[in-house]
Amino acid sequence: MTFVGIRADEQRRVAKMKNNKDIKETPLATAGICVSDVLDFWSKQPFNLDTVTVNGNSLLSNCDLCFLKKADHLMGLIIDKPERAVWWANMEKKVGARFNQAHPSYVDMMHFNAKQQGLFDPDEESIACFCGD
């Protein structure tokens, strides 16, 4: 029997699993487990997996920069660890095409991330005030 860890809040994926004759069970979906339940479970463990989470979504999966992920998730992962994009950029160059025409190329996302600067000076000093005097 094959069990797949698809959550209840992944309805499109759950529907695909139900149509797959090789998949027998989706226990998390059947139990109504959502991303918040998974994050809550891991927050109570004595160790931290240090997964990248943006807006309640854990961005890492079997395929770190899968071209099917949303562009903001891809950028979040590239910001977290820019070297993740190297393989993907090299593959796009090798085949001479982008994986997803709706997204920027991986090399463009790498360059965008490299050019980003903080909006504010982290060394700026506060202006002295007398609010608490």
Q: Which residues contact 57 (CB under 8 A, 6 or more apart)?
A: 35, 73
Residue 123 resides in a domain: no
The total domain count for the chain is 2
Task: Check whether residue 42 and residue 55 sit in a common domain.
Answer: no
Domain span at 98: 51-117
Residue 13, H or E segment:
helix 11-18
Task: Check whether residue 56 and residue 86 sit in a common domain.
Answer: yes
DSSP assignment letter at 26 = -
pLDDT at 119: 66
Q: What is the pTM of this model?
A: 0.59
Can you tell me the mean pLDDT for 69-79? 87
